[in-house]
Every structure is written in C-alpha cells, then in structure tokens.
Amino acid sequence: MSILLVDDHPLLRVGLVQTLAQAWPDLPVLQVGSGEAALAEVQVQVPGLVIMDFDLPGISGLETTRRLRQRLPQVRVLFFSEHCALGLVRQALAAGACGFLSKQVQPAVLVEAVGRTLAGHPYIEQSLATALACEPVRSADRRLQGLTQRETEIFLMLARGSAAGLIAEQLCISRKTVANHLTLLKSKLQVSCQAELVHLAIALGLLKVAR
C-alpha cells in the first residue's frame, strides 16, 4: 500500500512526506504537482490513499477525484485544502472523496485523518462536520450547492481565467458544451459576466488573491 500526495506546492509536499514518514515509516509516499500527473501516476501504481488539494493547475482536485474514482473506485481520496466553503466540501464528497481537511489543522489531526481513511473510515474535520450539520447555508454557498460537479469544475476554471478552448481540451468536451455550461452558470450563480464569476469565487475563498 502507498499514499499519493497531489499538491502543487513542493515545500508543502515535503512537509507532508516528513509527517507521514514519522507516523508510518514503512509506508511509501509518492508525490505529484497536478491532477494530470496524478491520473498518470495511478496507471503505474495504484495507491491505497490519495491526499488531494482542491486548487491545482489544469484540472482541479474535484475533477481529478471524479476521474480517479471512475477508473479506480476502490481508491480512497482525502481532500487537504485551503478552500473550505461548505458547498465545495459537499461537492468533494459527492465526487467520491471519503474525507476533507483544511490546511490549518495540526499535524496530529492530519495523521489521525490519514489513519482512519487508510482503515476504510470516512473523516471530516470536526469544525467542517459541525458546520455541515448545523450552520445555515449562506446565500453564496447555496448557489454553489446548486451546481453539478461539472458546472463547479468549469466555474473554477473560468474564475482562474482559463479560456473556453483550454477548458474544452482539458475536460475532453466541445467548446459549445463549455459555452452552454457558462450560460447555465450565469443563471444559477446570478451573475451577468465572467468578471462577476471571478468576484464570486474570491468571495467564497476559492481564489488566491495576491497581496
């Protein structure tokens, strides 16, 4: 059994590898920096657990999880992300993830989560689990929850500035399909243009803004 880390920050991956090696010194930990690389890697070696970031270059962690679970439904996916909007947590779980953690957790919590998911149990960070169960859904989150997984993926790619042609190529769909999704997104998210999609993504904490 092995673990595959999927994150585009090399220094973070190094720290995660060290944390996991201390807890499981005999467990191989592989690492890649994109969803495309992760999908290629699992064709060579099937991991027991994938620790997945949400915001990746190219296809997002959500789309990577969807494709991974379609090919290898036995593989468990644990999200480890800066982005913790409740709508995204629900989308990740719907895509087949068995757990979700924020990157603000202490190493001991990460080790606990990895141990439980390796053993076949779901794990959602306590604060997120409580919020999912108890907190009222904000207006923006409610709109996000109304999106399909494909719509969420295209929303994130558009918000990051990806052109329709690139989105079509990466998701293996036609430009017309992308255009149709954009029309639906504008309606569901109650925005009138792509710039407003960007503003909404920032408001939800889905985009990193340079400071």
The DSSP string of the chain is --EEEE-S-HHHHHHHHHHHHHH-TTS-EEEESSHHHHHHHHHH---SEEEE-SS-SSS-HHHHHHHHHHH-TT-EEEEEES---HHHHHHHHHTT-SEEEETTS-HHHHHHHHHHHHTT--EE-HHHHHHHHHSPPPHHHHHHHTS-HHHHHHHHHHHTT--HHHHHHHHT--HHHHHHHHHHHHHHHT-SSHHHHHHHHHHTT-S----
- Decide if 154 contacts 171 (C-beta within 8 A): yes
56-107 pLDDT, tens per residue?
A: 888 889 889 989 999 999 999 999 988 777 778 888 888 889 999 999 899 9
Write down the pTM of the prediction.
Answer: 0.70
Give residue limits of the domains in the chain.
3-134, 139-203
- Decide if 97 contacts 70 (C-beta within 8 A): no
Distance CA 106, CA 180 (A): 42
- State residue 49's pLDDT score: 95
Q: Which residues pair with 4 in a beta bridge?
A: 30, 50
Average pLDDT over the chain, rounded to an integer: 85
Distances (CA, A) of 149 to 17, 37, 95, 168, 210: 30, 21, 7, 15, 27
- CATH code of domain 139-203: 1.10.10.10
Q: Do domains 3-134 and 139-203 have the same CATH topology?
A: no
Tokens 């990895």: give the residue. Answer: 114
User: If you count them, how many residues does the chain have?
Assistant: 211
Is 1.10.3210.10 the CATH number for 3-134?
A: no
- Decide if 68 contacts 77 (C-beta within 8 A): yes
- State residue 31's pLDDT score: 94
Q: How far apart are the first and last CA of the chain?
A: 41
Kindly indicate the confidence band of residue 158, based on its pLDDT and cuts at 50, 70 and 90. Answer: confident
Kindly indicate the confidence band of residue 211, based on its pLDDT and cuts at 50, 70 and 90. Answer: very low
